[in-house]
Amino acid sequence: MRFYPDLIIREVELARGVAARARVVALDRSDSRAWETPRLSARLRLRWDMARGGWASWDGGDFERFRMPVIMGTGILTNRLAARVNEHQIVRAVERFGCDTVFHSNPFLFLPPPRARRSYRVHFDLVDNFFDGWRDNVSGRARKRFLRDMMLRADSLSTISHALCDRVEEFTGRRPAYVPNGAAVAQIRAWPAQRARDVRSRLGLENRRVLAYIGNHVADFDGTDMLMEGFLKARAVRKDLALILVGRGADRVPRARGLGVAEGVHVVGPVPTAEVWDYFHAADLGLLPFVLEPGTHHCLPLKVLEFAAAGKPMLASPLHELQRLRLPHLRFAPYDSDAWCRSLLDEATYLPPDRTETDVALRPFSWDAASRALVDAMSSQ
């Protein structure tokens, strides 16, 4: 794993939950922050940061953390070699810390030997649908073979969504455990209302209908071009509409189009985890304009659960997994700017979901429930 203590991400939250039930020693490379930019120099620096340096371990609060050299492959010629080097490092870590199970979610971190040739168990957590997005060429086929080998060699598997469970079973013949994302529902519910009012006041949005697109912490925004077109069409009819964009890369499309506050577009950019829930509560409507492709159809973004916990309605692309879950705060619009314009002008889009119904729907989506499901999956034979 690579941990970033200042971010709420799946691996960190699962590790915290599992640590309440078992000893957890987590690989932490939060010193390697080159992912913050997509440039080649940053990617090369990341590989160098991960490979250099020695071993270290320390008390990480909720669980122990350690650092070891990790080799990152650069393509079909180096992925298996890097995985073999990392395998030796992982064996050293297992022996050094007295662990009996290895959890990982990186598709090319290492390729475990067959079960008969190792003394530890391996659990692979598949977060994204990698294999349907790769081209049918030499590189894509090699990646698929690597990923299939890894999933077949793992002692147990889990995935983030029902749709991805189905796809993995088709791909490998193995049925993974369903371990969805979670949300800190009680904390989000109890978030101070004044903080949301402060956000609206600071941005001059007291008398506006506020739409919020809260992006991913490590990837540029998906679907922003379509969203911007739909929003501008709707705002030509309703001048009280305002759009806030929160997260890394939020300024890319507005900057390219020359859009700003005068057009109702407010770019906030990245904010600390301790402040991000301010924006969920400051919004009247959450947005998820994801491009429709296999990787998005199978996902369950944290923001979907967090907007629900904040009691806010959400307009989303009709992703297969989200349609399957039938969460009461979700409304769907086809991936088309005219369709999104119509939805943004429809008063029904902004109706808040029933709180009791939402709470019932969110019960399976707590980090505690997810960590319990993960422990059960890792304990399965």
Q: And the tokens for 329?
A: 């705060």
What separation in angstroms does the CA of 123 have from each of 96, 159, 218, 377? 19, 11, 24, 8
Average pLDDT of the chain? Answer: 90
Contacts of 349 (CB under 8 A, 6+ apart): 285, 313, 315, 331, 343
pLDDT confidence of residue 34: 44
Q: And the tokens for 228?
A: 């911007």
pLDDT digits (tens, 9 = 90+) for 229-257: 999 999 999 999 999 999 888 888 888 88
Give the chain's domains with CATH numbers: 10-182+367-379 (3.40.50.2000), 185-362 (3.40.50.2000)
Query: Which pairs with CB-CB distance under 8 Å and at least 24 residues apart come from 64-69?
Result: 64/23, 64/24, 64/25, 64/26, 64/97, 65/3, 65/25, 65/26, 65/27, 65/28, 66/25, 66/26, 66/27, 66/28, 66/93, 66/97, 67/27, 67/28, 67/29, 67/31, 68/27, 68/92, 68/93
pLDDT < 70 regions, the chain: 1-8, 31-40, 216-221, 381
CB 253 within 8 A of CB 272: no
| Amino acid of residue 39 | R
| Spatial separation of the C-alpha atoms in residues 37 and 42, rounded to whole Å | 6
| Amino acid of residue 191 | W
pLDDT confidence of residue 270: 85
| Spatial separation of the C-alpha atoms in residues 263 and 279, rounded to whole Å | 20
pLDDT digits (tens, 9 = 90+) for 97-125: 999 999 999 888 899 999 889 999 999 99
CB 322 within 8 A of CB 330: yes
